[in-house]
Amino acid sequence: MQKVVVFMPSFAGGGAESVTLALCGGLARNHFDVHLVVGTGDGELRDSVPDDVSTCDIGASRTAYAIGGLLRYLRRERPDVVISAISHANIIAAFAVKLAMCRCKLIVVHHNTTSISTRRTLRRRDRLVPLLCGIAYRLADRIIAVSAGVADDLARSSHLPIERIQVLPNPIDYARIRELSRDAARQDSVPCGDGPLLVAAGRLEPQKGLDTLLRSIAQVESPCRLVILGDGSLRAELLSLVENLGLAGRVSLPGFVANPYPYFRQAQVYVLSSRWEGLPTVLLEALAFRLRIVSTDCPSGPSEILSGVQGAELVPVDDPGGLAAAIERAISAGPLGTVREEWREYDSALVIRQMCEVVHELSHGD
């Protein structure tokens, strides 16, 4: 049985972390010996590790400090393949694999539009990420981007040959999502007012543009209610904005919710207000429901996912008026009659089979 080590920084409740755990479970079901290594065991998803995946917490308070622990782990365990996700972790994994000299193959999975995320960061060291990715990713045996837009941006910003980058989307376990959606949503977290329910989900960080979403809701004249699922550093600021805009009776922020899918099933409209993405997992998940979708046309992912999709509309980034008008149209159109078929190309069975082929190819390459 081939041994596969998957490395990620933590169990933070983000989309990249969620799909990495889904990948671990999929590989294990396909008869790989999967070991998940995390820089720190903290985070909302720590109880979501699949039962057939072992876990090792190397106790690094920051991803940059994980290289020593990961290096020792690789020398001891000597895996056949290492898979890394999220750019900072990918850089650490590339140098750890090189220094370990254990002949294992490395797959790096890139999830975000790096040129924008690094340009908007306030931390100087993060602005070095494109340069470091360009150096580290050349050490990888396979570079995977989760969307064509991410691949193009990575090639440009890190000066990598585009032909070295393979596009493979995030795996979404739609059967599991539909099963979980049958649970009851916490009604105390849903506003009690009139009108259809709108839902948004994501980390409460500047990337997600939730301030724009709140300003757009203040302009929507049709009765509606909004639930924003997630937590983050902007929570207090967003709650203050809810009060200042007079939205206290229409908007709730219940925090991180381990199972958001009952809210998806109950809602009429899903709204994504992000300023940038890679391949937004929540949009892929929304395809499993009879939800009308309103999304910013941010780089990258939404236009790839929603092009030609029934009941979906793209609007400019940071445009509260345009977002409000699109939400009005989605409300007026009423519930979507049927579930779309576009979800099939992102189904975990298909995507994980493709990843299994990559792992087999690399592990038998020598």
Query: In whole angstroms, what is the distance from residue 9 CA to residue 16 CA?
Result: 11
Cα angle 127, 132, 137 (rounded to 5 degrees) comes to 140
Strand order in the sheet with 251-255: 251-255, 225-229, 197-201, 269-272, 292-296, 312-315
- Give the pLDDT of residue 155: 97
| Per-residue pLDDT reduced to its tens digit, 28-81 | 999 999 999 999 999 999 999 999 999 999 999 889 899 999 999 999 999 999
Tens digit of each residue's pLDDT (9 = 90 or more) over 236-245:
999 999 999 9
Per CATH, 3-171+347-363 and 175-345 having the same topology is answered: yes
The whole-angstrom separation of Cα 57 and Cα 265 is 35
Q: Mean pLDDT over all residues of the chain?
A: 94
Q: What is the pLDDT of residue 366?
A: 57
For the domain bounded by 3-171+347-363, which CATH number is listed?
3.40.50.2000
pLDDT at 198: 98
Sign of the CA dihedral with 115 first, then 132, 207, and 150 last: positive
What local confidence, expressed as pLDDT, does residue 121 receive? 67
* Domain extent listing, the chain: 3-171+347-363, 175-345
Measure the CA–CA gap between 37 and 32, rounded to whole angstroms: 15
Task: Please state, in angstroms and rounded to a whole number, the distance separating the CA atoms of residues 30 and 195.
Answer: 45
- What is the per-residue pLDDT for 47? 93
Give the Cα separation of 146 and 356 in Å (integer). Answer: 16
The CATH number that domain 175-345 falls under is 3.40.50.2000
User: What pLDDT, on the 0 to 100 scale, is given for residue 237?
Assistant: 98
Q: What is the pLDDT of residue 122?
A: 61
Helix (H) or strand (E) holding 124: none
Q: What is the pLDDT of residue 338?
A: 86
Q: Specify the long-range contacts of residues 179-183, CB closer than 8 Å, at least 24 apart.
A: 180/259, 180/261, 180/262, 181/261, 181/262, 181/264, 181/265, 181/288, 181/289, 182/262, 182/265, 183/259, 183/261, 183/262
Q: Smallest Cα–Cα separation from 63: which of 131, 137, 126?
A: 126
| Segments of the chain with pLDDT less than 50 | none
Where does the chain show beta strands of DSSP type E? Answer: 3-8, 33-38, 54-57, 81-85, 105-110, 142-145, 165-167, 197-201, 225-229, 251-255, 269-272, 292-296, 312-315
What local confidence, expressed as pLDDT, does residue 113 receive?
92
pTM, full prediction: 0.91
pLDDT value for 212: 98
